[in-house]
Structure 1
Amino acid sequence: MTYIMKVEELIHKLTANLEDIVLVDARFQLGDPTAGRKAYEESHVPGAVYFDLERDLSSEAGEHGGNHPLPDITTLADKLGKNGIDQDTTVVVYDKGNDMFAPRFWWLLHYLGHQDVYVLDGGFEAWVQAGQPVTADIPVKKQKIFIPNVRPDQVVDIAFVRGIKDNKQAVLIDSRSEDRYLGKTEPLYQKAGHIPGAKNYFWMDVLDENGNWKNRQSLEKQFAKLDKNKEIIVSCGSGVSATPNIMALKMAGFKHVKLYPGSYSDWISYEEHNIETKDETDE
């Protein structure tokens, strides 16, 4: 199973016009929350609608729950429907390149029970490099009704994560860079390090030397040290960069993969929680 679509395949599908396809632009910049929408308004793939990480794909952050809590399901479903997406719509979502925001959208639809959603390999840049047209026109979609079929088995909460070091049937992954995992640097939060017991698998390692998504064989090799019979709990800083790893693990044949949505930013919001700075990946 792959959740990646190449530009050539998308072009063929759009040309053949045999499927109900909606394109989603999910470009975003953590350091400049308005940049993604501005980029979309300047130029995007013709027919694409825009979903914003903070306005559409997250709810407002509170004392706990992390920096990008999951959005309200009813609100998100309503936005999907207004943008022409229902359960029978093929959805292709793209980033600027191969970034973390399109996978966040992919995961949310996966969580809502949608079975036909793909991330465009190489994103908007690959589309442009292929000589395909762009536009500033904002499309108006025929509204549909998206009926969510939430899959609660795709997430874990803070209570589960608190007990994970004693749970021999589950493994916690930290998807951030090695330097952030080890506490050598921390650009976003007041505490540096990782959740005790977490193993480091940097999310960008799902990409090959050319910056494209790895194939299944390469992903299986990458995650070879993990037991496919165990639950794999994936975290990051706030539940965004964890999602490329979730896609990759599922493509590599892992069946029991779940997101800890609050991730590290939720964990450190509790003063009583310890953090680690040693490498626990090979333990």
Structure 2
Amino acid sequence: MDATVTKRWLLARLYEPEQTIVDCRFTLGKPEAGRESYEQEHIPGAVYLDLEHDLSSPAGEHGGRHPLPDPQVLAARLAKLGIGNDSRIVAYDDECGMNAARLWWLLRYLGHENVFILEGGFSAWKAEKFPVTDHQPVRVPSTFEPKVQPQMLANVDEVRQVSEQTVAATSSSPSALPVLIDSRAGERYQGKEETLDKKAGHIPGAVNYFWKNTQNEDGSYKSAEQLVEHFAGLDKDREIIVYCGSGVTACPNILALEKAGYRKVRLYAGSWSDWISYSENLVATGEK
């Protein structure tokens, strides 16, 4: 089954007991806005998970603006909300799916595959006049045992090595190196503007695939065929390491890559904000 579900699919299964709906709405710069929106109205039965309090660890010197949460801490939080190893999770947000994709990736990182993203998010659901409520459900705690998948991650040392080897490679070099993908908007990748991090530019050797270009205007993901065309310049046999500003918007790009048939995809979780926290790391600007 696809990693995304339609509004009508969810409507037909809204009250199935094995399912947990998770509201992931969050606005950068307005950390309380997501929870406030949830408390005002949300999809019936939905619980709330906050990007910074639940789906990230506190930021430190390294690790980026949104470090990954400790697996045991996240597992305990999920269990408290009634999410168990047998649960089906449907996540949504109102930010083109980027926070929902963060939860989607994290659950798979914990070994839980039965997780999906609602196409279009909350506004699209409400626009269809589908039910909303301000009632917060009482959840019976469950048990969630994480089975961490470390192969889904790339650390800064690996990324540094790939960057150096990519820059040093020539046209005659073997093309077995992993591909570094920068998921941010072109202006940030090129170093023309930067409003979130202390340095502008990109990791040397990375190529730019803006995450929002994987979606249609209504916030739904493009079809598998369209995504195959979108990523046509990438070899499916090569490993791909995806990053963004802080490890969040890389996740919808990972979802899109997998939908297009790429299977060797990893996340550099600290991403650009982690990369620039090391003074020895080089910074590139421009188109390449």
The TM-score, its normalising length taken from structure 2, stands at 0.94
Contact 1:183 1:277 in 2 (8 A): yes
Corresponding position: 1:54 with 2:52: yes
Contact 1:94 1:119 in 2 (8 A): yes
| Counterparts of residues 26-105 of structure 1 (less than 5 Å) | 26-105=24-103
- Aligned residue for 1:234, secondary structure, equals strand
Corresponding position: 1:217 with 2:225: yes
- Aligned residue for 2:13, secondary structure, equals helix
- Report the Cα offset of residue 97 of structure 1: 4.9
Contact 1:97 1:122 in 2 (8 A): no
Number of residues of Structure 1 aligned to a counterpart in Structure 2: 278
Match of 2:259 among 221, 234, 251: 251
Partner Cα separation in structure 2 for residue 209 and residue 69 of structure 1: 30
For structure 2, the 5+ residue unaligned runs are 167-175
Question: What fraction of aligned residue pairs are identical, expressed as a percent?
Answer: 51
Q: Which residue of 2 aligns with 1:6?
A: 6
Q: Cα RMSD over matched residues?
A: 1.2
Q: Which amino acid aligns with 1:26?
A: C
Corresponding position: 1:201 with 2:199: no
Partner Cα separation in structure 2 for residue 125 and residue 210 of structure 1: 10
Partner Cα separation in structure 1 for residue 102 and residue 26 of structure 2: 11
Contact 1:97 1:124 in 2 (8 A): no
Contact 2:59 2:65 in 1 (8 A): yes
Q: Which amino acid aligns with 2:38?
A: Y
Contact 2:66 2:270 in 1 (8 A): yes
Match of 1:137 among 132, 135, 142: 135
Match of 1:185 among 184, 193, 200: 193
Partner Cα separation in structure 1 for residue 180 and residue 14 of structure 2: 39
Corresponding position: 1:239 with 2:271: no
For structure 1, the 5+ residue unaligned runs are none
- Report the Cα offset of residue 14 of structure 1: 2.4
- Aligned residue for 1:93, secondary structure, equals strand
Deviations along 1:198-228, one digit per CA (max 9) or x if unpaired, are 1100000110234321111111111110011
In structure 2, the CA distance between the partners of 1:106 and 1:26, relative to structure 1 (3 Å rule), is same
Deviations along 1:98-142, one digit per CA (max 9) or x if unpaired, are 231110011000111111100000111111111111111111111
Partner Cα separation in structure 2 for residue 52 and residue 98 of structure 1: 16
Contact 1:68 1:238 in 2 (8 A): yes
Q: Which residue of 1 aligns with 2:183?
A: 175
Deviations along 1:10-41, one digit per CA (max 9) or x if unpaired, are 111226x3x61100000000111110011001
Contact 2:97 2:117 in 1 (8 A): no
